[in-house]
Amino acid sequence: MRPCLLLLITCLSFALLATAANADRPGGQSSQKIFSFVGVTDATTNGDAGGYFGLARMCEAEFGPAARACTYAEAVDTVSPPVFASEAWVSHKGSGDISTRSTFDCGGWRRKTGGGTSQEDAVTILPDGRSSGEDCNVPLPVACCAWVEIPN
């Protein structure tokens, strides 16, 4: 009997803590944060965006301090993707290996030339969710991701 009573008291304690933690939310609902594709920038850039941080700063300026450029996988894995009208740059972060970091990302977002090589092209996302690629000399908006709160 004592183990069952102890289990019941423990469960009730967790339930009360969860209720107290959500008391300040409308309706007492709980929520969670997920990383999602939130939109594309109004501003455009060619492949010379000032590096990966340049892309992040463009997203931060339009979507807040927690935003940065999405990878293609992050964008297409978003549950409710935003509607957007044109092709947009996506981040193509390599494994950290210097030999892969400049592959299809405009030389680390520091080149604005086009020419068909892996350092003169970059990965993009199309409005229907397909991936594509573009020469680094083309100005495009940036696909941005950020932490968003969703109800449980």
**Quick check: 33 and 125 in contact, CB under 8 A?**
no
pLDDT one-digit tens code per residue, 125-147: 999 999 998 999 999 999 999 99
Q: What is the CATH number of the domain that holds 147?
A: 3.10.100.10
Residue 151 pLDDT: 82
Has residue 21 been placed in a domain?
no
Number of domains the chain is built from = 1
pLDDT one-digit tens code per residue, 11-22: 333 333 344 444
Rounded Cα–Cα distance for residues 66 and 51 (Å): 18
Which of the 8 DSSP states describes residue 81? P
Q: How far is CA 130 from CA 29, 75, 103, 104, 140, in A?
A: 35, 10, 19, 16, 16
**Quick check: 135 and 89 in contact, CB under 8 A?**
no
Has residue 17 been placed in a domain?
no
Has residue 126 been placed in a domain?
yes
Please give the residue range of the domain that contains residue 82: 27-151
Q: Where does the chain have alpha helices with state H? A: 2-21, 52-63, 72-76, 106-109
Has residue 106 been placed in a domain?
yes
Residue 42: other Cβ atoms inside 10 A? 9
Q: Which residue has the tokens 């299809």?
A: 104
The parts of the chain modelled with pLDDT lower than 50 are: 1, 3-25, 95-102
**Cα 119–115–109 angle (5° rounding)?**
35
- For residue 40, give the H/E element and its range: strand 31-40
Residue 83 pLDDT: 95
Has residue 45 been placed in a domain?
yes
**Quick check: 106 and 4 in contact, CB under 8 A?**
no
Residue 139 pLDDT: 95
Would you state the structure tokens that stand for residue 124, as one six-digit string? 């993009």
Has residue 35 been placed in a domain?
yes
Residue 18 pLDDT: 41
